[in-house]
Amino acid sequence: MALLQAHRGVSSEYPENTLAAFRASVEQGYDLIEMDPKYTADGKFVILHDGSLKRTGRDRDGNAQDLKIKEITLAEAQEFEYGSWFSEQFKGEKIPLLSDVLDFAEEHPQIPIKIDNCWEKFPDDLRKAFLDEIAARGEKAASIGFTCRTLECLEQAATKFPHAMLHYDGPSLDAETLEKVKKIADGHRLVIWVCYDNDMTQWFKGPKANAELCDFVRAYGEVGVWILSKREELERAVKECHADVIETTGHLKPQWLKEIEG
């Protein structure tokens, strides 16, 4: 049975990277939740996709401001709300802290969290602090997984979290690289991500998923395919690519996957 991953939560129906979108992932029966960490000027960790508040943040007057999250404090970021850009019904949605996500993970250990690879770009001291905050939860953080584009960060996550689910989405899917990935991730559940060719991924210049590539990747780990939104894409990912994990914005529903797999 393939797993269905909610990209930034159920971001097709809820404001992305919010607790509302994450809760919906649990309620609708998704298997994993992907989310994006960032840091503030005072070294606090929050969940936000963009480097700026402009797209998803609104001030008290409902206005967007092009403020970089790493250049404002947590208190300043919390003066904005992160729901009304999507729909007025979500007005007042708060920016989640990493601690909120860790609390959420403890409440719902059955649904693993996939931390996007943007943690790799943190300055060294903040990267360490980020990982330390997760590690401080001990066994309660067992459902937190890490996405890595580089072998260096993959090894860092593998060493610090010996039981974590690891996700590799680096640009190279050649045998030499994947052999190194497999060796680093030894003892971990490993998902290697392959891009699905559709309208949402036209910007991506790397290799695209097909049966041959996915069969090759499967020799090194489980196969993850990103990012799908149509039922016919889901059917191809299951029947041709035999994907182990499939990422969707929420347009694809868990029930569809059950129907396709029979």
Question: What is the tens place of the pLDDT at every residue in 93-127?
Answer: 999 999 999 999 999 999 999 999 999 999 999 99
Q: How far is CA 140 from the centre of its chain?
A: 19
In a domain, 10, yes or no: yes
7-21 pLDDT per residue, tens: 999 999 999 999 999
Task: Residue 98: name the closest of 138, 55, 144 by CA.
Answer: 144
> CB atoms < 10 A from the CB of 56, how many?
23
34-47 pLDDT per residue, tens: 999 999 999 999 99
Residues in the chain: 262
**Under DSSP, is residue 97 helix (H, G, I), strand (E, B) or coil?**
strand
- Cα distance between residue 193 and residue 125, in whole Å: 28
In a domain, 180, yes or no: yes
pLDDT at 64 over 90: yes
The mean pLDDT value for 235-247 works out to 97
- Cα distance between residue 211 and residue 72, in whole Å: 46
In a domain, 142, yes or no: yes
Give the pLDDT score at 170.
95
In a domain, 129, yes or no: yes
188-211 pLDDT per residue, tens: 999 999 999 999 999 999 999 999
In a domain, 253, yes or no: yes
In a domain, 74, yes or no: no
pLDDT at 256 over 90: yes
The mean pLDDT value for 231-246 works out to 97
Give the pLDDT score at 117.
98
Range of the domain at 140: 3-54+96-261
Give residue 60's pLDDT band: very low, low, confident or very high (50, 70, 90): very high
State the Rg of the chain over Cα: 18
In a domain, 130, yes or no: yes
pLDDT at 262 over 90: no
Q: Give the number of domains in the chain.
A: 1
DSSP, residue by residue, 203-246: T--S-B--HHHHHHHTTTSEEEEEEE-SHHHHHHHHHTS--SEE
Looking at residue 167, which CATH number applies to its domain? 3.20.20.190
Give the pLDDT score at 188.
98
In a domain, 62, yes or no: no
